[in-house]
Amino acid sequence: MDRCWILIGMMGAGKSSIGRALAEHTQRTFIDTDLLLQQRLGRPISQIFQIYGEAAFRDHETSVIRSIEPSASVVSTGGGIVLREENWVEFKRLGCTIFLDAEIETLIQRLAVSKKKRPLLQVDDWEERTAAILESRLELYRRADVVVPVDDVDLSCGMTRVLDAIRQYEIDTDQSQIR
């Protein structure tokens, strides 16, 4: 059975960009849970937070991950998907989790240009907020099957690193189904 490669990690870690590149490189399907959620509700994430609130967003996020079937795909997720225990049940059902592990400095640098679309960072002290979110989630992210440091790498190098780490994991766990 084909297994999904599920990318988890903080906002700004590169889940979507690395995920897309990885999917293209390995000819896997690319799935983005935030995109599915936006399509389902017909609104951008910022509006979903604004209108329905974070708890409703999280309900939809769980519903979206539940709707995905195991397949030869790369699944990019929203940074907070690790918060709900029931989502980890879905991760196990779907495949292998990969934590894109970025230091706070890297995240701040990347988010400085893209924080506008992140509702949780619409505060003056967004850098402190990012650090607090990272600290509160780090233990959860580290539950991933594979941890890949993504500081100081460009897109292509980050993608290669992730692929190498997954290959190693699949060899280690005897599930080698690289396509």
CB 142 to ligand S3P: min, Å: 16
Q: How many residues does the chain have?
A: 179
List, as one string, the DSSP characters of 57-71: HHHHHHHHHHHPPP-
CB 98 to ligand S3P: min, Å: 14
Please tell me whether residue 48 adopts helix, strand or coil conformation. helix
The only residue of 119, 131, 161, 165 in contact with ligand S3P, by rule CB under 6 A: 119
Q: Does position 147 bind ligand S3P by CB under 6 A? A: no
Q: Does position 75 bind ligand S3P by CB under 6 A? A: no
CB 73 to ligand S3P: min, Å: 17
The rounded distance, in Å, linking the Cα atoms of 174 and 110 is: 36
CB 117 to ligand S3P: min, Å: 8
Sole window of 9-17, 20-28, 100-108, 155-163 interacting with ligand S3P (rule: CB under 6 A)? 9-17
User: Using CA of residue 26, residue 169, residue 62, residue 43, what is the dihedral sign?
Assistant: negative
Name which of 2 and 30 has its Cβ closer to ligand S3P.
30
Task: Please work out, in degrees rounded to the nearest 5, the angle formed at the alpha carbon of residue 139 by the alpha carbons of 137 and 143.
Answer: 115
Binding residue count for ligand S3P, defined by CB under 6 A: 11
Q: Does position 14 bind ligand S3P by CB under 6 A? A: no
Please state the separation of Cα 111 from the chain's center in Å: 15
- Nearest to ligand S3P by Cβ — which residue? 78
**First CA to last CA distance, the chain:** 13
User: Using CA of residue 47, residue 50, residue 52, residue 58, what is the dihedral sign?
Assistant: positive
CB 3 to ligand S3P: min, Å: 22
Give me the residues that bind ligand S3P (CB under 6 A), please: 11, 15-16, 34, 45, 78-80, 118-120
